[in-house]
Chains A and B, each alone.
Chain A
Amino acid sequence: MILLFIVLIPIIFSFFCVLPKQTKITQWIASCAIMLASLLAFTSCFYVLSSGKILFLSNIFAIDLLSVPFVLVIAIVSLICSISSIGYVNRDIEINEMKKSYVKPFYVLLLLFVCTMYLSVLCQNLGLIWVSIEATTVISALLVGFYRKRASLEAAWKYIILCTVGIAFALVGLILIYQAEQISLFNGVETLNWFKLISYGKNLDPNLMKISFIFIMVGYGTKAGIFPMHTWLPDAHGQSPAPISALLSGVLLNCAVYAILRHHLLLSAAVGSGFSSNLLIGFGALSMIFSVPFILTQRDIKRLFAYSSVEHMGIILIGFGLGNFFGVLGAILHMFNHSLGKSTLFLSTGSIVKRYGSNNIARLKGIGQTKPLTSIIFLCVLLAIAGSPPFGLFLSEMYIAYAIFQKFGFFPGIVYLTLIATVFAAFMYYLGKMYFSNQRPDFKFKERIGLQHIFLSIPIIILIITGCFLTPSINIISKIVEYFMRGI
């Protein structure tokens, strides 16, 4: 029942959000709902990690070791975003960027968005995963265009059209999987249930499964922001309110990666891991390579981080595609670390950008003097996302580098490291421009410590812990990696 409540709580509380007259109460109702859902999510993850069992609820919901990191990411990031959104929305109301009457719809949509993201990683039916991911698009499109400005509406329109068309291709992939299930199961009940499908994976028609994976990769790849289907991503991330950008980049992309991984495991059971692994590595490498020029020439700070998400999704896919211990370990850790880091980065950037009234990097001068507390958080997470030690992303990138050297040898490993180093250098250049420059004279401002600063520091602490103290020998991590590797 616990799994059902994780999904139901945000839906039920979204009704309560409409009732109060004061916006403050609405904000706290939404935050409490997300807190409650996160608490239940932590509990169920703890149960699965400690017992090693799969938690089922009828034929619809299930949480296994593969879902655990994804559920944890949703729980942590949604909690941080909901708390931070309070200050953010209040500031938007103050500067007339958001009307007071928009607060209720914002939080209702936020809760529904979180609910659909939980659904997409808790459903065990491949069809329902598709439905949930499509639902995330529909709901988040309204959030992307929430400011109702020309640019935000353009971004929202591109987002909903591209992702709906993209995910329609994934639907074709699902039809082919269902066809394969029908052919192989003459008298059985076909359901698209992942656990049933994987148990008779070898009986599934190999040709159909391979073709279906291509459609799945294109479909969910669009949603995951993988090159060349990533075109919606910089627009949507750049134009949405900061808490939504944080959720899109930190969580939503992972939900699509999760769907791809489920299909990767299924295909591996049917025809072996070679075909899907090569596709994952190929798309991952393309995403890394083609995001670099955009990162190097970027002027808009939010678009810069959006392209960085494309690069990081590429790294994660390469890690999973490699399929060896360090590759999978690196990919899981990288997914977790990137989500925490990128969401905090978007939240802190949102606060800075609001103060300067511009997304242009050249105009964000002296951020250290203008917003001393927020900019320290910004500095830390920017270093983390760039892949600097002692943060977790450095370690996970190095694990994947080690796995590439192990599997493909010297040259691909060097190319990978060069790409990472280039992005690191670009980030340091931008950081220098923003942080170590003089403040504009009209920007005298004192920043007081608030609840959001405390909440935004939590991911930094977690990133330092994952960077310094997480080793492959830790039982829970090796359990998840081995669970994944057993499937491929």
Chain B
Amino acid sequence: MNFLSFIFLITSLWMLQTRNVTKSVYLLILQSLSLSILMIGIPMISLGYDFNLFHSAIAAILTFFVKVVLLPFIILRVNKKLRSNDLIPMNMSQGLSLLIGIFLIGFSQVLNSSGFFSTSHLSSGYSFFAISSILIGCFYMLSHRALLCQIIGIIVMENGIFLYSVSLTNGMPLIFEFGTFFDLLVGVLVMGIMTNYIHGLFESTDTENLTELKG
């Protein structure tokens, strides 16, 4: 499980210095794949005899189906339709972006190991990886200026939140998990449609073009 969590973290960190949408999506697939195995592995280890295979298996299958198959497929398809092979515009250099990512990981470690987190039941064995991923996902959206990168950033953030939920609670109620996956799927679909519209009008997917509305 530690190896998978390590992959989960490294993929999100690696994304920060990638300037290619396709590469970022492949890294996202790898991250989501490790998450789907963790979704079943973490409860199995922590619950022992109380482990509910049905619940965890459904959550893991859903994660695999939505985050490893469907969402990357949608993003790659939109990217192909845009025929954009340009490098992703960034707000800073790749090196600095990576450096800030490493700083965020360090910050997550400090936060996770603090007395407040452990006494308040906010941390568990894997919560460090989850918090890092949430912060890196947020930062990825800020550092990369392409519309598709904002969608990828949101999914990385959500991956972190899902890992946090499974590490803390061993899985949320099934009806809720179904709802969140459905929302995420439809949300990414809508964002994909909008990316298409925006590209059609602005002839670019650089978020710097979206600064007309002010005040």
B169 sits at the interface (CB 8 A)? yes
Q: Scan A58-83; emit 1 where CB is below 8 A from any B CB, else 0.
A: 00000000000000000000000000
For residues 86 through 141 of chain A, which have their beta carbon under 8 Å from a beta carbon of chain B? 125, 127-128, 130-131, 134-135, 137-138, 141
Residue of A at shortest CB range from B124? A179
Q: What residues of B have a CB within 8 angstroms of the CB of A160 in the complex?
A: 187, 190-191, 194
Using CB atoms, name the residue of chain B closest to A192: B173
- Known A168-B158, A175-B161, A239-B213; contact A127-B122, beta-carbon cutoff 8 A: no
- Enumerate chain B residues within 8 angstroms of A207, measured Cβ to Cβ: 119-121
**Which stretch from B17-25, B62-70, B105-113, B174-182 is at the chain A interface?**
B174-182
A316 shortest CB reach to chain B, Å? 24
> A157-B198, A182-B169, A190-B173 are contacts. A205–B121 as well, Cβ < 8 Å?
yes
Q: Contact check: which of B158, B186, B213 meets A235 at CB < 8 Å?
A: B213
A168 near B161 with CB under 8 A, answer yes
Given known pairs A157-B194, A191-B173, the reply for A175 and B168 (CB within 8 Å) is yes
Bound-state Cα–Cα, A281 to B118, Å? 30
A459 contacts the other chain (Cβ, under 8 Å)?
no
Query: Are A179's CB and B169's CB within 8 A?
Result: yes
Residue A183 lies at the interface, judged by CB distance under 8 Å to chain B: yes
- A183-196 contact mask (Cβ, 8 Å, vs B): 1 or 0: 10000001110000
Residues of A within 8 A of B212 (CB): 150-151, 154
Interface of B is mostly: helix
The answer to the question of B215 belonging to the interface, with a C-beta cut-off of 8 Å to chain A, is: yes
Interface code A150-193, partner B: CB below 8 Å = 1, 0 otherwise?
Answer: 11011111101100110010011011101110110000001110
User: Which residue from B154, B179, B186 sits with its C-beta under 8 Å from A161?
Assistant: B154
Smallest Cβ-Cβ distance to B187: which chain A residue:
A138
Interchain CB contact (< 8 A) of A208 among B120, B183, B190, B211: B120
Q: Are A127 and B176 in contact (CB under 8 A)?
A: yes
Asked if B126 CB lies within 8 Å of chain A CBs, one says no
B122 touches A176 (CB 8 A): yes
Interface residues of B, count at CB 8 A = 40
Which of chain A's residues has its CB closest to B172's CB?
A178
- Choose one: A135, A191, A298; the contact of B215 (CB below 8 Å): A298
Contact residues of A: prevailing secondary structure: helix
Q: Among A125, A142, A183, which residue has its beta carbon within 8 angstroms of that of B175? A: A125
Q: Which residue of B lies closest to A141 (CB)?
A: B190
Decide if A238 is an interface residue (CB 8 Å cutoff).
yes
Contacts of B31 in A (CB 8 A): none
B33 within 8 A of A: no
How far, in angstroms, from A256 to B214 measured CA to CA in the complex?
A: 24
Q: Which residues of A contact B210 (CB under 8 A)?
A: 154, 157-158
B196 to chain A minimum Cβ distance, whole angstroms, is: 10
A141 near B194 with CB under 8 A, answer yes
Cα–Cα distance between A300 and B105 once the two chains are bound (Å): 43
Within 8 Å of chain A (Cβ to Cβ): is B40?
no
Query: Smallest CB–CB gap between B116 and chain A, Å?
Result: 9
Task: Using CB atoms and an 8 Å cutoff, list the residues of chain A in contact with chain B.
Answer: 125, 127-128, 130-131, 134-135, 137-138, 141-142, 145, 148-151, 153-158, 160-161, 164-165, 168, 171-172, 174-176, 178-180, 182-183, 190-192, 205, 207-208, 211, 234-235, 238-239, 294, 297-300, 303
Contacts A130-B179, A148-B201, A211-B120 aside, 10 further interface pairs with beta carbons under 8 A come to A127-B176, A138-B190, A145-B197, A151-B213, A154-B210, A165-B141, A171-B161, A172-B161, A175-B165, A175-B172
Per CB-CB distance, the 10 closest pairs between chain A and chain B, nearest first, are: A131-B179, A127-B176, A207-B120, A134-B183, A154-B210, A175-B165, A235-B213, A138-B187, A179-B168, A138-B186
